[in-house]
Structure 1
Amino acid sequence: MSTAAGSPADRGTEMETVHLLRRVTVEFGLRQAEFAARHGMHPTDVRALICLLDDARAGTPATAGRLGTRLGLNSAGTTALIDRLERLGHVTRSRDERDRRQVLLTVDARAVELGQAFFGPTLAGMAQLLRTFDDREAAAVRRFLLGAYAALSGETAD
């Protein structure tokens, strides 16, 4: 017997999926904290590196202001974070060639290598799993994740 969309049985399945996403998110957070501890970092440092790498992939200039906004930090907290990442050799600052008043942040290649060594096998496993999905399934997963991100962040999903 099938149930109508929106019925209690469907909502149970929907919530099961939402709770599963939460479990995945918690597990990612635990792995990030483990990585941070191994490399003398704070978990916020790892989140900052992820934000900076996301900006680089998107071709978006990474600035202190943008990073602070994304992490919910004030100016002083953002400066302390960037100073710490720079001291650890994970981030460099450079002047924007188009606007010399603006300072751009770049993740150092060594930091990328550390991240690849730790997270690479897990991410490769996830990519391999996605390759088992047909185009419609993969599109549905992507649409759900973009929508979940938009619901959490208040930003419009791309």
Structure 2
Amino acid sequence: MSESPESPEREIFHLLRAVTVAYGLRQAAFASENGLHPTDVRALICLLDAERAGTDATPGALGTELGLNSAGTTAVIDRLERLGHLSRVRDPRDRRRVLLRVDDRAKELGWAYFGPLIHRTEALLRGFDATEAAAIDRFLHGVRDILADDERGADT
């Protein structure tokens, strides 16, 4: 039985999947080389994303983002703090609240490993015109939203 040719949309989906698998492997290698658990790397990414967005990073928000319960979140935070990658600081607006900050050492470690990939990807994107770049941006945001909807159990 021969397979029928796949639609261009399905081929793009498979390519996106291949990219995410390759990037996941890169993250796992980074974790392994630096004595981290893969969840630690995901936690650092979540915290850096919050920092870029100007959003307070709290243990509760991190746990929600990672899909961990309170004990699991505490274990990740404790491990990252012990390794010198993370600090707990008091919220200056509400001293009862704890905020999480990625330490400069972790940022430097990440840039040393992922910086060349980031720079090469940025160079690739500069090869697209504004309309193409907007389409890529719209597509990736759309896929992210579909995944978030799926995670929440939204109907298709």
By the TM > 0.5 criterion, same fold?
A: yes
Matches within 5 A, 1:1-158: 12-154=7-149
How many residues get paired? 147
Partner residue, 1:3: none
Gaps of 5+ in 2: 152-156
| % identical equivalent positions | 65
Give the AA of the match of 1:94: V
- CA RMSD, Structure 1 to Structure 2 (Å): 1.3
Give the AA of the match of 1:108: D
For residues 153 and 36 of structure 1, the distance between their equivalents in structure 2, rounded to whole angstroms, comes to 25
1:153 Cα deviation from its structure 2 partner: 1.5
User: Any idea what the Cα deviations from partners look like across 1:90-147, whole Å, max 9, x if unmatched?
Assistant: 0000000001111000000010000000000011000000000000000000000000
Gaps of 5+ in 1: 1-7
TM-score by length of 2: 0.91
For residues 110 and 37 of structure 2, the distance between their equivalents in structure 1, rounded to whole angstroms, comes to 14
For residues 115 and 18 of structure 2, the distance between their equivalents in structure 1, rounded to whole angstroms, comes to 20
Residue 95 of structure 2 aligns to a residue whose secondary structure is coil
For residues 28 and 48 of structure 2, the distance between their equivalents in structure 1, rounded to whole angstroms, comes to 18
Residue 102 of structure 1 aligns to a residue whose secondary structure is strand
For residues 146 and 53 of structure 2, the distance between their equivalents in structure 1, rounded to whole angstroms, comes to 20
User: Any idea what the Cα deviations from partners look like across 1:55-103, whole Å, max 9, x if unmatched?
Assistant: 0000000000000000000000000000000000000000000011110
Residue 147 of structure 1 aligns to a residue whose secondary structure is helix
